[in-house]
Amino acid sequence: MKNKIHAGESTKTNWLPIVVFSLIYILLYSQLITNFFINVDDDVYFTNNPFIKSLAPDNIIHLFSSFYGGNYHPITSLFENIQYAFFGLNPAGYHFISFLFHFINCILVYKLVRSISDKIQLAYLTTFIFAFHPMHVETVAWITDQTDVFCATFSLLSLITYVAYIKNNSTKHLVLSILYFLLAVCSKPSAIAIPPTLFVIDYLLNKKLMEKWLIKIPYFLIAFLFAALTFLSLDAKQQITELLLPDYTAIQLFFVSNYALAYYLVNFFFPFDLCAMHLAPKELPTLYYVAPLFNLLIAYFIWKNFKKDNFIVGGFLFFLFSIALVLQILPSGYNIVAERYTYIPFIGLSLLIGSVLFNSENAILSVGLRKNLNTILIAFGVVFIGLNFSYGQDWKSLVSFNTNIAAHNSHSSYAQVSAGYFVFQDNKPQDALEYCNKAELLDANNPEVYFLKSKILYSIQEKEAALKNIQLAQKLKCNRKEMNDFLSIIYFENNQFDSAIVYFSKVIAKDSVITPANYRNRAVSYYSINKYQEAINDYNQILSVDSLSMMNIYGERGICYEIGRAHV
């Protein structure tokens, strides 16, 4: 029995759901308009991005002709530049744009569902899930993930205008749909899932699948082009991916992919214990090996209900086509799964569930459940809103964001060190030291562990232990920019003046201007090993740039003159 979900509905606007929806939306997502960038990718695409600061023609040409950060998404980059023109590096402005565009996308989801089904309950449910699903908090809260937000806007517009073309046979709508699709893939390459999704739309509208195959050729040509561009851009990400993604065998990747699919299916219904990063484990847990059985059960359910309602099969295929690219079938990053990947795919699962709930003729739900359906839906809605709000709390500070990642990635030295850094900045050195110790147990060859431990130990006046740890970090080739600065200070504080001079000299050599503190510390180091003339030279350098505010420098230089003469 195909698509019995269609039924005539009143066109009169009911303002109550709109008002309630808007109030809940503001309550939940206004808390995400914070005043900080996070330490995952925001530095690459915003704070340290040299190409974000200009709308000059040469820079715009560069956005469309170059890869950046291992990605090619020129439309998103252009939007970032426009935002920079208004907000500079004020994070709250970027968060507000994400807040605004997610709301726009909610409206577009509603319009898409209404265009393929007259059942208003289905449109309400799908829009609610899209708007408030706890797994979508990440997409709104993470500025870098504006790629998904903007991509979704154009993807939804492409699908909506495609439906208009199918219904009206209007060339204008077809051209618009292709144009929106082009803008979508220029926002994020994951939009290449749209061409196969068009066949799903045909199926949901009860059209013959191959009836309009010819007009889909432009979509597929664009998709193949951007798939190639994405492949070429991946080299820029290869180093960090190789660092954090284990070298899985083909068999292991099979179980990883199945786990990822099962994770998204389960968390659609039970989105508990969410996290911004799910770093790949070196050894696969038991759940990974059970996942294929779970997926087989889901496939059996879909097959069993194939003829009852095309929204069951169509919704699942919508989900599957949209999520397939990030299932690690081909390794595509160091996260096994990610909440942000569900942004568009969950529309498909919402259509499936809506069909089960609202199509009275498919007989999947018992009579008892149908009688209490409204109560059940309200209960689920309240739980989802509560989970959304709760997960939003983890995005309200860098400390909560990173400690949540550490808690969910107890196998990752990288996650523990990141949490330690921000806990240390929050003036909790002992707690930060505990994160370092966990990280060291997980990976004794991680130089970041010892660099951070050195800074923590130095802050609590354990200078000898700090020196030992910074030497370990150096031995393991820690590439922190401030490495030489900290080495110079640590050696100086431990009275190892020969080594301190070596590193003060390296720091001074890279300085573009004279920094009095570095010259003074090196001068004191020279003085301490009886190199008085070298100390005098450094004091002279200081006085050449500041002869008034540093009167004590004259006294120290005078001492060097006196003692130097006595040694002649």
| Phi then psi dihedrals of residue 332, to 5 deg | -130, 20
* Cα 199 to Cα 18, 209, 264, distances in angstroms: 31, 6, 23
pLDDT digits (tens, 9 = 90+) for 167-191: 998 899 999 999 999 999 999 999 9
The answer to whether 427 and 443 have CB atoms below 8 angstroms apart is: no
Task: Give the chain's mean pLDDT.
Answer: 88
pLDDT digits (tens, 9 = 90+) for 228-270: 888 777 654 444 444 456 788 889 999 999 999 999 999 999 9
Does the pLDDT of residue 221 top 90, yes or no? yes
Tell me what pLDDT residue 547 has.
63
DSSP letter for 343, please: T
pLDDT digits (tens, 9 = 90+) for 122-165: 999 999 999 999 999 999 999 999 999 999 999 999 999 999 99
DSSP letter for 281, please: P
Could you give the CA distance from residue 124 to residue 118 in angstroms, rounded to a whole number? 11
The answer to whether 280 and 335 have CB atoms below 8 angstroms apart is: yes
Could you give the CA distance from residue 237 to residue 231 in angstroms, rounded to a whole number? 11
Where is average pLDDT lowest: 34-38, 349-353, 371-375, 537-541? 371-375
Tell me what pLDDT residue 554 has.
85
Q: Which token pair is 465?
A: 């232990």
Tell me what pLDDT residue 239 has.
45
Tell me what pLDDT residue 568 has.
55
Could you give the CA distance from residue 437 to residue 416 in angstroms, rounded to a whole number? 9
Helix 286-304 and helix 250-269, axial crossing angle in degrees, nearest 10: 60
pLDDT digits (tens, 9 = 90+) for 29-43: 999 998 889 888 888
Q: Which residues of 529-560 are buried (b: 16+ CB within 10 A; e: fewer)?
A: eebbebbbbbbebbbeeeeeeeeebeebbeeb
Could you give the CA distance from residue 321 to residue 404 in angstroms, rounded to a whole number? 30
Where is average pLDDT lowest: 133-137, 549-553, 558-562? 549-553
Residue 336's contacts (CB-CB under 8 Å, 6 or more residues apart) are: 256, 259, 260, 263, 278, 279, 280, 281, 328
pLDDT higher at 273 or 103: 103
Assessment of whether the complete model's pTM goes beyond 0.85: yes
| Phi then psi dihedrals of residue 566, to 5 deg | -65, -25
Tell me what pLDDT residue 400 has.
94
Residue 238, number of CB atoms within 10 A of its CB: 10
Could you give the CA distance from residue 170 to residue 173 in angstroms, rounded to a whole number? 5
pLDDT digits (tens, 9 = 90+) for 259-296: 999 999 999 999 998 999 998 888 899 999 999 999 99
The answer to whether 342 and 335 have CB atoms below 8 angstroms apart is: no
Could you give the CA distance from residue 285 to residue 298 in angstroms, rounded to a whole number? 21
Secondary structure of 484-505 in HEC code, one letter for each residue: HHHHHHHHHHCCCHHHHHHHHH
Banded pLDDT at 2 (limits 50, 70, 90) = very low
Could you give the CA distance from residue 365 to residue 461 in angstroms, rounded to a whole number? 67
pLDDT digits (tens, 9 = 90+) for 473-522: 999 988 888 888 999 999 999 999 999 999 999 999 888 777 888 898 99
